Structure 1
Amino acid sequence: MTDPGDANGENTQEETGGEAERERVEPRGREAGPGRGHTIVVGAGMAGLAAADRLADEGERVTVVEGRDRVGGRIHSVPGWGGSATLDVGASWMRGEENNPLADLVHEIGVRTAVFNRSTETAYDPKGRRLLFDRHRRNMEDVHLLQEHMYWATVGANPQESMEEGINQALYDANLVRARARDANEIVHRIAEADHGADAEEVAFSAVAALHEFSGDDVVFPDGMGQVTDHLARGLDVRLEHVVLEVLHGDDGVGVRVDTPDGEEALTADRVLVTLPLGVLKAGQVGFAPPLSDEKRDAVERLGNGSLEKVFLRFDEVFWGDAQVIVNLGTEEGAWFHWYAGQRVLGAPILVSRNGGRAARFLEGRDDGEVVEHAMAALRGMFRKAPDPVDHLVTHWADDPFSRGAFSYTAVGSGDGDRVALGDPVGDRLFFAGEATEIEHTATVHGALLSGRREADRILTL
């Protein structure tokens, strides 16, 4: 039996991370304080580290096991790309600064942020012609009108009603026709695909009114969002490359079986907090003994697991003008609808595109060269003389065994009750956190943060 509290283990976070800051910090959470116990946290993403951070500060002994060779989970900052830029290849936005607990943490740490200014957005039609400012502004006004109709129509919506049905009804109610209906319809669909990682036909219409957004500016992180999870992990006993095979729980104790570089180990504790992504739970690659309840397993099955992939293209120079957001209408399967220009935030001539739902699946299975070729064909539809990129990076979150996708969404036939069931503890031994267990803040980093703190507080009351 391996003692998971051994601070001298070869896989502790300080020893494998390599960052000077990690080596300087004092170990914490290695011994239980008076009246406290020992919790194993499965997963070193935002939810797991937020919980571990709070537990350690309150005197709990904490061991974090993580299958990857890094912390952060679906937050992954790649520094020095092209010699200078830091890319957030996973989560990258903080939606609304005001009253956002993530914003409070970011300010506490002193992480540099930049406001993402969408006022410089430009749009191009399917033939590559730039839309006049007034035309694009009218399109966005139509989109907001549709979204308003959809929001109020969700009152009384049944779980089997899809967002596609809601969009169609909103188009009728708003009396939009011809080109205005076509453009607004496309933009609303592309926004839904990016927000939920799924097609409108797959997303429950009730999800339109389910999310709570904070007010204030949306911001990004020029030096990487990974600084936040690195900060939360400071001094903790984080066992990297520890792949959880099975979670054992019962009245007589709890523990996990893990596959490590040195072979299989069994770790025991007073409690286990599981923060695995929904995609990993759906894949069934982590066992539970005894099995989870039917209610919890049904929730995992009903909730949707979204797909969203990014493509980063670096060029020798900027050829797209001053716009920070470029909208491309009428693209194949909706791919390359949004381009984000990185010259101001990243300090380099970089374009980023996010493809969700149908577009992500359309590109799935292609090698990186094919994806870049397809992206460049779309760009050259708007910018005829666009040069070849000097570098590229294509994400593959759907293929990542430790994520199996991007984030959860409320699928047709699922609802808030499934998220509650997923997050419910099993007795006072087994706990669950992660953005998929949040109701008002799903598919967000701050939702993951809140879920981790929620379960830490629940554990601390024991």
Structure 2
Amino acid sequence: MEPKNRSGRDNFAISGIFLSQLERQQPPSPSVIVIGGGISGIAAARALSNASFKVILLESRNRLGGRVHTDYSFGCPIDMGASWLHGVCNENPLAPFISGLGLRLYRTSGDNSVLYDHDLESYALFDMDGHQVPQQLVIKVGEIFERILKETEKVRDEHAEDMPLLQAISIVLDRNPQLRQEGLAYEVLQWYICRMEAWFAADVDTISLKSWDQEHVLSGGHGLMVQGYYPVIRALAKDLDIRLNHKVKKIIQCCNKVMITVEDGTNFVADAAIITVPLGVLKANMIEFDPMLPEWKVSAISDLGVGNENKIALHFNTVFWPNVEVLGMVAQTSYACGYFLNLHKATGHPVLVYMAAGRFAHDIEKLSDEEAVNFVMLQLKKMLPDAREPVQYLVSRWGTDPDFLGSYSCDLVGKPADLYERFRAPVDNLYFAGEAASVDHSGSVHGAYTSGIMAAEDCRRRLLLQHGISDLFQIVLREEMSEVMVPLQISRM
């Protein structure tokens, strides 16, 4: 008896024979060097490796992940860099991958949170004397802050020239004195500004009025990675040719090839390179280009801002704080405000993470680890006088770490409109990727991931054309692949 699906099997067998012959007829696979082992570089290397390219990934540090860095020294995962999936929805290109790995998310906000990654109801704020701010006041001032920000749109429409967001807020308050706050309410407003600065990793007097709200934020709210981001990095990097402790010092373009020289003098040669090192490293000219990059590329690197945000993670023997997502201290200036992220609520581990952004993040890096911990413990004890001492701590230093020199890109006042497009544009056989190369989602993990995929695709197409290789093999493979959608595992305790 004939199988009912025999014709389908025959077609598949013929397809397999055709592809096998096609592979034998193809010239040698093009070669690509990916510089930087963050999620963008790993995504690019993975895409090209899947396309049967010869790929080597060079990473300056002794670990993968870059600004995605999960530390396990507390006996539980602590993300000292990126922590959230911004946009818990299938629009997010990382969502299917995270779902497939069975990783859990803790949702910290819905779609309309004014502070982006947390809802207004999730805070416990305290003044300098340790008195808790009434929750009704917290919510009321948060709503007023939303109105102030909405009014800045009118200021933007009236002025052709860009200005700092803080200046626009001042104009709004001059026009609308009923929105001004006094006393404790004023301090709460400063705290909201502090939270906004944390989103941009920059101070409000440097944030662009023209650009601050132009990012396309995906739907679904924001989810904290309960098991940390490293499982994503590990899965993407599986079976890739990765060389750790290979700090790139020079990139030479010649005769349709690139030669990469690392710190110990070793050279690597390939048909193309994808550069995914952090923006801060490029701005500091830590990699020499021969020939020099063209002026349009240099100016894009120069004009993009790079922000700074640091974390001080504190591990305790017991939980002594309220069961809220964020513990915050209000003050007369946004610089003097502060807040702790309560990981116990999200993950069940007795950990608080102090967050510092902008100038304050730079100032924190001037302290030793012990001094930084002592400072944030003084803050915590003002809020909670019975606070215990931590048994372990971790301190990030993204701004001064020579492999990063900043946390993520930010929009400076008066930046040209085509800045991100110029930054991501290739220079012959050099391609650029990373969070700063994402036009719509800069500063995010999924933006970095997507930019790596896009750079790999641009590179793949150019090299196939250059080598006279048919793209049919890739087309057939893509048509035969099917994705199984697995729902995201999301909690909200």
Could you say which TM-score interval applies, normalised by the shorter chain?
0.7 to 0.9
Partner of 1:94, secondary structure, is: strand
Tell me, yes or no, if structure 1 residue 109 matches structure 2 residue 96.
no
Output the CA distance in 1 between the equivalents of 2:157 and 2:92.
26
The answer to whether the 8 Å contact 1:33/1:59 transfers is no
Structure 1 residue aligned with 2:50, among 40, 51, 57? Answer: 57
Output the CA distance in 2 between the equivalents of 1:152 and 1:111.
42
Deviation at 1:345, TM superposition (A): 2.8
The 1:158–1:243 alpha-carbon spacing in structure 2 relative to 1, beyond 3 Å, is: farther
Q: Which moved more, 1:86-95 or 1:320-329?
A: 320-329
Output the CA distance in 2 between the equivalents of 1:65 and 1:142.
49
Output the CA distance in 2 between the equivalents of 1:145 and 1:334.
22
The answer to whether the 8 Å contact 1:435/1:442 transfers is yes
Deviation at 1:120, TM superposition (A): 3.0
The 1:271–1:155 alpha-carbon spacing in structure 2 relative to 1, beyond 3 Å, is: farther
Q: Which moved more, 1:51-60 or 1:250-259?
A: 250-259
Deviation at 1:307, TM superposition (A): 0.9
The answer to whether the 8 Å contact 1:247/1:254 transfers is yes
Equivalence for 2:227: 223
Deviation at 1:291, TM superposition (A): 0.5
Deviation at 1:204, TM superposition (A): 1.6
Equivalence for 1:431: 431
The 1:433–1:343 alpha-carbon spacing in structure 2 relative to 1, beyond 3 Å, is: same
Deviation at 1:181, TM superposition (A): 6.8
Equivalence for 1:287: 288
Equivalence for 1:122: 124
Output the CA distance in 2 between the equivalents of 1:181 and 1:134.
11
Deviation at 1:333, TM superposition (A): 6.2
The 1:323–1:69 alpha-carbon spacing in structure 2 relative to 1, beyond 3 Å, is: same
Provide the aligned C-alpha RMSD in A: 2.2
The answer to whether the 8 Å contact 2:212/2:411 transfers is no
Equivalence for 1:375: 376
What is the correspondence of 1:415-426 to structure 2 with a 5 Å cutoff?
Answer: 415-426=416-427
Output the CA distance in 1 between the equivalents of 2:77 and 2:53.
34
The answer to whether the 8 Å contact 2:190/2:337 transfers is no
Equivalence for 2:172: 170
Equivalence for 1:298: 299
The answer to whether the 8 Å contact 1:116/1:219 transfers is yes
Output the CA distance in 1 between the equivalents of 2:417 and 2:348.
41
Partner of 2:62, secondary structure, is: coil
Unaligned runs of 5+ in 2: 1-23, 110-118, 463-493
Output the CA distance in 2 between the equivalents of 1:360 and 1:33.
53
Equivalence for 1:342: 343
Tell me, yes or no, if structure 1 residue 96 matches structure 2 residue 98.
no
Deviation at 1:358, TM superposition (A): 2.1
Equivalence for 2:196: 192
Structure 2 residue aligned with 1:137, among 120, 136, 139? Answer: 139
What is the correspondence of 1:168-317 to structure 2 with a 5 Å cutoff?
Answer: 168-174=170-176, 175-179=178-182, 182-183=186-187, 185-259=189-263, 263-317=264-318
Deviations 1:406-452 (A, max 9, x none): 0111112324422211111112x111111112222111111101111
Output the CA distance in 1 between the equivalents of 2:198 and 2:60.
27
Equivalence for 1:19: none
Deviation at 1:132, TM superposition (A): 1.4
Deviations 1:321-341 (A, max 9, x none): 211211210177635622111
Output the CA distance in 2 between the equivalents of 1:380 and 1:282.
39
Whichever of the two has the greater Rg, that structure is 2
Partner of 2:239, secondary structure, is: coil
Q: TM-score scaled to structure 1, two decimals?
A: 0.87
The answer to whether the 8 Å contact 1:34/1:59 transfers is no
Aligned residue type for 1:166: A
Equivalence for 1:15: none
Deviation at 1:312, TM superposition (A): 0.7
Deviation at 1:151, TM superposition (A): 4.2
Unaligned runs of 5+ in 1: 1-30
The answer to whether the 8 Å contact 2:256/2:271 transfers is no
Aligned residue type for 2:104: R
Equivalence for 1:404: 405
Deviation at 1:108, TM superposition (A): 2.5
Partner of 2:439, secondary structure, is: coil
Aligned residue type for 1:165: Q
Equivalence for 1:384: 385
Deviations 1:165-210 (A, max 9, x none): 1222333455312328724641342123211211112222122222
The answer to whether the 8 Å contact 1:278/1:407 transfers is yes
How many residues align? The count is 426
Output the CA distance in 1 between the equivalents of 2:386 and 2:240.
51
Output the CA distance in 2 between the equivalents of 1:290 and 1:132.
61
Deviations 1:112-131 (A, max 9, x none): 32223643322122332111
Partner of 1:100, secondary structure, is: coil
Aligned residue type for 2:142: M
Partner of 1:461, secondary structure, is: helix
Equivalence for 1:452: 452
The answer to whether the 8 Å contact 1:196/1:409 transfers is yes
The answer to whether the 8 Å contact 1:193/1:358 transfers is no
Q: Which moved more, 1:394-403 or 1:413-422?
A: 413-422
Aligned residue type for 2:218: F
